[in-house]
C-alpha cells in the first residue's frame, strides 16, 4: 500500500524494517511535507484478541492457549524514543495499523479506547485502496512537522547509513556521533530505490559512464550486508584500482556480514590456492608455459577459469549468498561460468553492472543465458550521467568511434547517453607547438588545481613502468608537488598519476590527459572516452599536433 501511495512522489522515502538503534519498526516514512512517521502493522484478527489492557502485554487467543504479545502502542513508543533523542528539531508522528481488524467491531472499540493521544490508528477499511489510505493519512498526519532539504538529508544520512556515500576526508559509514549535513553525501531517491528494491534473483544494470552503476552496486552490497548479517557476499571487478575503490566505499569492516572485494584475477588465484598445492602447481606450470609458447590472454581466459571450475567441483570451496560484479562488460564468458558455480542457489542474489561503451578489453561475445545468468525481464537501463557536467559529457559522447556508436541500441550493453544532470563544468583543449611547452602547460594546470584544493588525476595512454623516465613526472617532482601512483589508490587527497586503463569505474574532480594526439585508432578513441568521462568538474586536454581526434574535439568545443 505504501508503495502504491508514495511511489513517484518526490521527497518521500519509505523504509521497511530499518534498524533504528536496536529496534526495527515495520516502516519509517521521511517526507518533506509531513516529516517523520513510524508505522507498526499488526495482522492479528479480531477474534484473536483476548485481552487489551491499557498497560503491559496484550493477550491473543491461539487455539486453547492465551499468548502474551508486546503492546503495539508501547512498541511504537520505543521507536519514538530511539529517534526522538537525536531529532529534537521535529515531531515524530506514529501510526499503528490493524490490517485484519474492522473499524465496526468490538475489538476496534477496545483498541481505540486504549490508544494514546499521540498515536493514529488505521483499521482494515482504511487499507482497502490507495484512496482510502491516502484520505486517512492526510486527515490524521500533521503537516506542521515538515522538513527542509537539509533536515531531510540529515535524517536519511544518520538513520539510514546504507544510503551514505563515503567521503575522501575519512568520514566513516558507521560512527557514534551524528554527521552534520555538510559532511553527508547521499544516494538520490532513484539510486536508493534501485539498491534497496531490486528484489530477488539475477539483476543486470546497463548504464552510461557516470550513471551511478558503481554507486548503486556499493549501496546494494551494504544493504544486503546489513539486511543479512550471516551472509557471505562477494564483490568482483576487473582491475586492481577499482577493487581498492570498491573496498573503500563498501567498507567491509563496518559490516557484520562477510564481504569480500576482489578483482577477478585475485579471486581466482585465491580459489586455486585454497584448493591445495596440486592446483597451485598446475597454475604455476601453465603460467610459465604461456609466457613461452602462448599468450597471457589464453592463460587468464581459458586455463585459469578451467582450474577454478575444477577446484570448485572437487574441493570444499564455500558458496556466496550474494555476488555483485562491477564493469561486467570486461568479464569473459568463462569467468562468469565459474563465478556462477559459487552462487548459493537458495539465495541466488546476483547483480551485474555493464557499459559496453567502456569495454576497452577485447572479449568473446556471448549471451547471458549461456553463462547461467537469467536476464530476461531483469534488466534496467541508466541513460543519464550524474557525474559529467554537460560541457564535458557532450565532448566525450561525440568522440566515440563509429563502430561503437553503431552498436548502440542493438545490444543491451550499449546504451546512449540521453542527458547530463548538471552543467557548469570546464572542458579545455590546448594545442602547443612542442612537447616541452606542453609539459609546462600541464604543470601549470596541476599547480592551479592544487591551489584550488581540488583532487586531480593525470592520465597517460601507455603503462608507467619507470616514473623517472617520463619528463612530465620529473617536472612535477622537481616542482615539489606530492602525488601517488593511482595503482596505490586509497581515498588519497591531492594528485594521482596513472593510465586510463587503471581508472575504470572511478572518478575525480579534475582529469588531465596530455598527448591526446597519440589516440589514433578506434580502440584508442574508446579508451580516451573512458578517461574523459572520469571528470566531475574539469577536464584538461592537451596535444602538440592536430590529428583527426584533436580536430574533432576542437570542432565540438567551437559549437
DSSP 62-95: ETTEEEEE--HHHHHHHHHHHHHTT-TTS-EEEE
Q: Which residues pair with 236 in a beta bridge?
A: 262, 325
What b-and-e string marks burial along 56-71, b requiring 16 or more CB atoms within 10 Å of the CB? Answer: eebbbeeeeeeeeeeb
The kind and range of the H/E element at 419 are strand 419-420
Q: What is the pLDDT of residues 109-167, one digit of tens each?
A: 989 998 898 899 999 999 989 899 999 998 888 877 788 888 888 878 777 766 666 55
Q: What is the pLDDT of residue 175?
A: 46
Contact between 536 and 479 under an 8 Å Cβ cutoff? The reply is no
| Of the candidates 26, 9, 168, 3, the residue with the CA atom closest to the CA atom of residue 97 | 26
Q: Does residue 544 lie within any of the structural domains? A: yes
Both 499 and 441 in one domain: the answer is: yes
Burial string for 421-454 (b: 16+ CB within 10 Å, else e) reads eeeebebebebbeeeeebbebbbebbeebbeeeb
Residues 6+ apart with CB under 8 A from 400: 357, 525, 526, 529
Asked whether 465 and 473 are in contact (CB, 8 A), the reply is no
Q: What is the pLDDT at residue 363?
A: 66
Closest to 280 (Cα-Cα) out of 290, 270, 293: 270
Are both 207 and 279 inside the same structural domain?
A: yes
The answer to whether residue 398 is domain-embedded is no
Of 461, 422, 394, 386, which Cα lies nearest the Cα of 185? 386
Averaged pLDDT score across all residues of the chain:
87
Same-domain check for residues 128 and 233: no
In CATH, what number is assigned to the domain containing residue 145?
3.40.1350
Closest CA to 441 of 502, 535, 449: 449
Residues 497, 473 contacting (CB under 8 angstroms): yes
Q: Domain count of the chain?
A: 3
* pLDDT tens-place string over residues 501-530: 888 778 899 999 999 999 999 999 999 999
Taking only the tens place, the pLDDT of each residue in 524-555 is 999 999 999 999 999 999 999 999 999 999 99
DSSP 99-111: TT--TTSHHHHHH
Per residue in 250-305, pLDDT (tens digit) is 889 888 899 999 999 999 999 999 999 999 999 999 998 888 877 788 899 999 99
Taking the C-alpha atoms of residue 409 and residue 399, their distance in angstroms, rounded to an integer, is 18
From 326, 361, 382, give the residue that closes a domain.
Answer: 382
224 and 349 within one domain: yes
> Would you give the distance in Å from CA 314 to the centre of its chain?
34
CA gap 320, 342 in Å, rounded: 6
Query: Which alpha helices (DSSP H) does 479-536 contain, by range?
Result: 522-532
Distance of CA 426 to the CA centre of its chain: 26
Does residue 211 have a pLDDT over 90?
no
50 and 114 assigned to the same domain: yes
Establish if 156 belongs to a structural domain.
Answer: no
For the record, the C-alpha cell of 420 comes out as: 547530463
Cα of first residue to Cα of last residue in the chain, in angstroms, is: 50
pLDDT in tens, 423-459: 889 999 999 999 999 999 999 999 999 999 999 999 9
CB 495 within 8 A of CB 456: yes
- What global pTM score does this model have? 0.75
Question: Which CATH number belongs to the domain containing residue 534 in this structure?
Answer: 3.40.50.300
69 and 135 assigned to the same domain: yes
Specify if 407 maps to a domain: no
Q: Which of 128, 151, 174 is the last residue of a domain?
A: 151
| CA angle, 251 then 257 then 263, to 5° | 55
Whether the per-residue pLDDT at 169 is higher than 60: the answer is no
One domain for residues 210 and 358? yes
Asked, for residue 431, whether it belongs to a domain, the answer is: yes
Domain that holds residue 114: 2-151
Least confident of 93-107, 175-189, 216-230, 248-262: 175-189
Closest CA to 15 of 178, 182, 242, 192: 192
Does any domain span residue 535? yes
pLDDT digits (tens, 9 = 90+) for 39-98: 999 998 888 888 888 888 999 988 889 999 999 999 999 888 888 766 665 678 999 999
pLDDT, position 179: 54
In the chain, the percentage of residues whose pLDDT exceeds 90 is 49
Strand ranges across the sheet with 35-42: 12-16, 27-31, 35-42, 92-98, 119-122
Amino acid at each position: 500500500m505504501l508503495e502504491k501511495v508514495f511511489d513517484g512522489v518526490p521527497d518521500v522515502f519509505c523504509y521497511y524494517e530499518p534498524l533504528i538503534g536496536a529496534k526495527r519498526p515495520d516502516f519509517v516514512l521521511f517526507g518533506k511535507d509531513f516529516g517523520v512517521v513510524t508505522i507498526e502493522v499488526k495482522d492479528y484478527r479480531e477474534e484473536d484478541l483476548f485481552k487489551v489492557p491499557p498497560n503491559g502485554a496484550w493477550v491473543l487467543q491461539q487455539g486453547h492457549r492465551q499468548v502474551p504479545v508486546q503492546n503495539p502502542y508501547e512498541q511504537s513508543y520505543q521507536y519514538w524514543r530511539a529517534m526522538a533523542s537525536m531529532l529534537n528539531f521535529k515531531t515524530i508522528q506514529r501510526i499503528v495499523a490493524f490490517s485484519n481488524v474492522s473499524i465496526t467491531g468490538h475489538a476496534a472499540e477496545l483498541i481505540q479506547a486504549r490508544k494514546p493521544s499521540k498515536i493514529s490508528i488505521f483499521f482494515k477499511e482504511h487499507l482497502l485502496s490507495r484512496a482510502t489510505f491516502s484520505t486517512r493519512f492526510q486527515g490524521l498526519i500533521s503537516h506542521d512537522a515538515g522538513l527542509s532539504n537539509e533536515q531531510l538529508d540529515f535524517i536519511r544520512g544518520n538513520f539510514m547509513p546504507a544510503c551514505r556515500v563515503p567521503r575522501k576526508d575519512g568520514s566513516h559509514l558507521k560512527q557514534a556521533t551524528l554527521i552534520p549535513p555538510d559532511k553527508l553525501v547521499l544516494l538520490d531517491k532513484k539510486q536508493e530505490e534501485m539498491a534497496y528494491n531490486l528484489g530477488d534473483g539475477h539483476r543486470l544494470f546497463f548504464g552510461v559512464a557516470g550513471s551511478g552503476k558503481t554507486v548503486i552496486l556499493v549501496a546494494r552490497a551494504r544493504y544486503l550486508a546489513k539486511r543479512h548479517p550471516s551472509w557471505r557476499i562477494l564483490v568482483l571487478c576487473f582491475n586492481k584500482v577499482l577493487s581498492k575503490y570498491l573496498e573503500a566505499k563498501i567498507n567491509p569492516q563496518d559490516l557484520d556480514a562477510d564481504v569480500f572485494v576482489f578483482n577477478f584475477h585475485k579471486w581466482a588465484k585465491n580459489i586455486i590456492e585454497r584448493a591445495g598445492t596440486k592446483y597451485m602447481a598446475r597454475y604455476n606450470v601453465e603460467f610459465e608455459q604461456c609466457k613461452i609458447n602462448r599468450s597471457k590472454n589464453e592463460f587468464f581466459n581459458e586455463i585459469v577459469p578451467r582450474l577454478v571450475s575444477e577446484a570448485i567441483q572437487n574441493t570444499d570451496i564455500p558458496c556466496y549468498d550474494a555476488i555483485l560484479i562491477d564493469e561486467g562488460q570486461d568479464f569473459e564468458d568463462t569467468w562468469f561460468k565459474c563465478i556462477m558455480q559459487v552462487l548459493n542457489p537458495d539465495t541466488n542474489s546476483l547483480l551485474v553492472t555493464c557499459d559496453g561503451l567502456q569495454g576497452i578489453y577485447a572479449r568473446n561475445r556471448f549471451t547471458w543465458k549461456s553463462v547461467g545468468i537469467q536476464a530476461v525481464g531483469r534488466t534496467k537501463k541508466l541513460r543519464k550521467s550524474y557525474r559529467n557536467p554537460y560541457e564535458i559529457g557532450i565532448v566525450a559522447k561525440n568522440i566515440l568511434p563509429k563502430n561503437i556508436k553503431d552498436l548502440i541500441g542493438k545490444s543491451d550493453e550499449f546504451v546512449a547517453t540521453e542527458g547530463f544532470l548538471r552543467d557548469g563544468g570546464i572542458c579545455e583543449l590546448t594545442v602547443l607547438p612542442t612537447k616541452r611547452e606542453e609539459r609546462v602547460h600541464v604543470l601549470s594546470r596541476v599547480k592551479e588545481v592544487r591551489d584550488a584544493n581540488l583532487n586531480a588525476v593525470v592520465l597517460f595512454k601507455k603503462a608507467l613502468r619507470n616514473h623517472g623516465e617520463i619528463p612530465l613526472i620529473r617536472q612535477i617532482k622537481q616542482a615539489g608537488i606530492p602525488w601517488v601512483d593511482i595503482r596505490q589508490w586509497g581515498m588519497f587527497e591531492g594528485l594521482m598519476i596513472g593510465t586510463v586503463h587503471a581508472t575504470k569505474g572511478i572518478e575525480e574532480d579534475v582529469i588531465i590527459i596530455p598527448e591526446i594526439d597519440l589516440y589514433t585508432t578506434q580502440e584508442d578513441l574508446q579508451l580516451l572516452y573512458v578517461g574523459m568521462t572520469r571528470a566531475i568538474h574539469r577536464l584538461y586536454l592537451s596535444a602538440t599536433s592536430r590529428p583527426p581526434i584533436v580536430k574533432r574535439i576542437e570542432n565540438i568545443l567551437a559549437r
